[in-house]
Chain A
């Protein structure tokens, strides 16, 4: 690529950046070149290190190793303000504008000057708007602007502060398709003026739409770095997720009667995608895995299944519990619950023994049978360290709290009839993860209906008999695990519909896909094979 000398001044070069958080290696020798006048897409799974890399560039995190240069001279920002001074600014996912204040006031608030001059600030912003060819009301409280305008406003404020390199953390996450198109137009016109844009996104079709350059991160490593042109989303998905090892052979189980069923569930939440008519049937002896990027509705679905959120429409039934049972009713009918945030289910001020017995003491379940295993035996069975029943739960490490939770939910007597687990092996080492997975499969073998949701596709594929992919509050894929190839799941997680048979290239010549996939292009498909 050829660059004018002026542009050379602003190339951001990162070399062999590593970042450790304690023992966890979030980034491992990642290199990156951000060119002025280009959109650089940064993609990867959850936890692949995208946000960490962006924070290193923006001065929010300091790299553990590696160096950066800006226009040829060393660039080692002390903090975010330092990076801002050098012209690199990050627009966070959670917008930072103060809703009660107008854009002008927000700009003055963020500015470095001690004396605020409203008139000159307004003139500067107006000039920036003109330059970027954006029209946003500068004087209305930002809370009254649309989401897309707020996003643009944040970018304009960053530009007015002198940014020549903008890092946008999932700017399209809360925008509709039309708004996304508008935002991209503005990004292109900014690029034409020489601004560099780093775009973090989960949506792979956006890469094709707008990106010039592409960096793909996987498990903290750079697996692709170069031009984005000519890369199909399916290839990017494979780069992101990698070739997954085939799941270990599993004993064939024949699913029995339906144990847990959700029908036409419609529900809303502030924290997750709105559920839009979700159907899910889980049979006895079956492990259903729910995959999807964060915020696709999995959390809300599990909340509805667990009785924590009443759906606006639709129903959830668990065999043995009355229809529309409360969370307590579902618990009595034998539903085990491992939430994504383990802190929701472990009481830190109670001892391990009290945590294990919290259901019995608070509900007064049937008296503990004489031959029941002691608290210590239950803790040992799940390798909770230390297995000391009187210890307060807050004294355990995160991984051991997860084991404690598993011991309570999965190790109880009688065995659960249904299991809801979100990321049941998070924070656990390989051996402990394997033990929990084996326990989940064992429960299914004993006749439980098991639902396992996770951001981590490996975790889902390791236990599931059937894989369901959620995107934007809908179930768009429902496949037996044997047919759920990395590529199909990766595409579905990124919101790409099943390829139509006619368009299927050599890479997607999968007879199962061609056979079972509906041919109606981009519309998300409902749960297949569910007669309604």
Chain B
């Protein structure tokens, strides 16, 4: 198996090289010196405590989304609905905070509002996640499709909400809610920055998942992803796996919605999710579904976004959106690595060439059903397909 690991490292290293090359090329094309650009990027994330704090502020939502996606992705349940779940969680948290605050006559203590926001966000996100889970279990609706489309529904609902029942009374350029009560804001972790207590929440979730990875349920999910029949013997039915993993990721995303409202913006904005849900999936894969890897990847993603702003001001010509391009290239690389992990040799061999089954030297012997692993050509697939 050592050969396999070495190939993986080579693949990972080449992905990193390609990313750096693309970044340098883009800076050059934009008419700037790559070295100046990179210095601007580094300064953008390190020159002041505030800027360092911004990296953490950006990493918290991505990290929580990615961490709570671990069980789902481990079980092969590919939910891409975090965007929508964040939105619904944020709406629920905002609404609940205002309602509870009113109940206390506008003077509710902080902890009450924090718990209210946390619970409401979790319920909002969780319920949103249960809809595609139900569809997937009951009618086998593809969960990728249903979660993706629910994101648009959630976005539409947010737009309506901000113009109607949660709209602020003030005159504003964009639809938004009223300012949250002061007490509802998450306390700051480091004064002078925007870094809030949510950072600690990431560490708690990370630690919990670190322990969970050694648990029975983790083993069951790993088996479920590739060997559903064996998983049945272990008591992991499809119903139970889909509901539990999607609920967890929904709760995580819903809590992120609350954190973005109460910890960052102090009001509900149209941009509350801001692509965090999708970044979360990328970060989960980049961190190869391990808590430590994910936390590092989330910091990296956040630093890239924050640093790109610094780069823009340092060079004057390089747009900050370069960070998005780099993330995109990185995602393609991660997808390549993930595909390689699933079918180590088949992913590298050209289609139709002798496949994994024929490669005796150091490679994995065929474990997949014959039709899947050995059907190299169309003709073979035609004949083997029915027997797989």
Chain A residues with CB under 8 Å of chain B are 51, 55, 60, 79-80, 92-94, 96, 169, 306-308, 326-328, 330-331, 337, 339, 341, 343-350, 358-359, 361-364, 391-398, 401
Contacts and interface: CB of A to CB of B under 8 A. Distances in A.
B368 interface: yes
Contacts of A394: 364-365, 367
B42 interface: no
A421 to B, nearest CB: 15
B351 to A, nearest CB: 16
Contact of B234 (A169, A348, A358): A358
Contacts of B1: 391-392, 395
Contacts of A395: 1, 364-365
Contacts of B222: 347, 349-350
B385 A398 contact: no
Given A394-B364, A394-B365, A347 B227 contact: yes
B226 interface: yes
Interface string B206-218: 0000000000100
Contacts of A308: 229, 232
Contacts of A361: 216, 219
Given A92-B383, A328-B234, 20 more contacts: A51-B383, A60-B380, A79-B379, A80-B379, A94-B382, A308-B229, A331-B234, A337-B233, A344-B227, A347-B226, A347-B227, A347-B230, A358-B230, A362-B219, A362-B220, A362-B223, A362-B234, A391-B1, A392-B1, A401-B367
Contacts of A331: 233-234
A511 B1 CA distance: 60
B216 A362 contact: yes
B226 A348 contact: yes
B382 A358 contact: no
B369 A341 contact: yes
A233 to B, nearest CB: 26
B386 interface: yes
Contacts of A337: 233
Contacts of A346: 227, 367
B31 interface: no
A363 B365 contact: no
A343 B369 contact: yes
B367 A94 contact: no
Contacts of B369: 341, 343
25 contacts: A60-B380, A60-B383, A94-B383, A169-B383, A306-B233, A339-B229, A343-B227, A343-B367, A344-B227, A344-B229, A344-B230, A345-B229, A345-B230, A346-B227, A347-B223, A349-B226, A358-B234, A359-B234, A361-B216, A362-B219, A362-B234, A362-B236, A392-B1, A394-B367, A398-B367
Interface string B362-374: 0011111100000
A94 B386 contact: yes
A306 B385 CA distance: 25
Nearest to B356: A394
A60 B227 contact: no
A326 B235 CA distance: 8
A5 B198 CA distance: 89
Contacts of A364: 216
Given A394-B364, A397-B365, A401-B367, A328 B232 contact: yes
B385 A94 contact: yes
A125 to B, nearest CB: 21
Contacts of B226: 347-349
A303 B236 CA distance: 16
A346 B367 CA distance: 9
A384 to B, nearest CB: 14
3 closest A-B pairs (Cβ-Cβ)? A328-B235, A94-B386, A362-B234
Nearest to B360: A22
A411 to B, nearest CB: 17
A358 B234 CA distance: 8
A327 B365 contact: no
Contacts of A345: 227, 229-230
B263 to A, nearest CB: 38
Nearest to A328: B235
Contacts of B379: 60, 79-80
Contacts of B223: 347, 358, 362
Contact of A307 (B219, B232, B366, B383): B232
Contacts of B219: 358, 361-362
Contacts of A358: 219, 223, 230, 234
A346 B381 CA distance: 24
Contacts of A343: 227, 367-369
A188 B369 CA distance: 38
A351 to B, nearest CB: 10
B318 to A, nearest CB: 42
For B236, B383, B385, which residue has the most chain A Cβ atoms within 10 angstroms? B383
Given A343-B367, A347-B222, A392-B1, A363 B230 contact: no
Interface string B224-248: 0011011011111100000000000
B364 A363 contact: no
A55 B233 contact: no
A243 B154 CA distance: 70
Contacts of A328: 232-235
Contacts of B364: 348, 394-395
A363 B220 CA distance: 8
A361 B215 CA distance: 8
A359 B233 contact: yes
A337 B230 CA distance: 9
Contacts of A398: 365-367
A198 B365 CA distance: 35
Contacts of B236: 362
B233 A92 contact: no
A30 to B, nearest CB: 19
A344 B386 CA distance: 17
A361 B214 CA distance: 9
A364 to B, nearest CB: 5
Contacts of A363: 216, 234-235
Nearest to A354: B219
B367 A96 contact: no
Nearest to A337: B233
A79 B380 CA distance: 12
A350 to B, nearest CB: 8
Contacts of A327: 229, 232-233
A83 to B, nearest CB: 11
A2 to B, nearest CB: 36
Nearest to A392: B1
A92 B379 CA distance: 10
A96 B235 contact: no
Contacts of A169: 383
A355 to B, nearest CB: 10
Contacts of A306: 233
Contacts of B368: 343
A308 B366 CA distance: 25
B215 to A, nearest CB: 9
B233 A396 contact: no
B273 to A, nearest CB: 34
Contacts of B229: 308, 327, 339, 344-345
B367 A348 contact: yes
Interface string B116-132: 00000000000000000
B383 A55 contact: yes
Nearest to B236: A362
A331 to B, nearest CB: 5
A528 to B, nearest CB: 32
Nearest to A93: B386
A93 B382 CA distance: 9
Nearest to A395: B1
Nearest to A59: B379
A79 B220 CA distance: 45
A397 B360 CA distance: 10
B227 A93 contact: no
Contact of A326 (B220, B232, B365, B367): B232
Q: Which of A308, A349, A392 is the most central at the interface, judged by chain B CB atoms within 10 Å of its CB?
A: A349
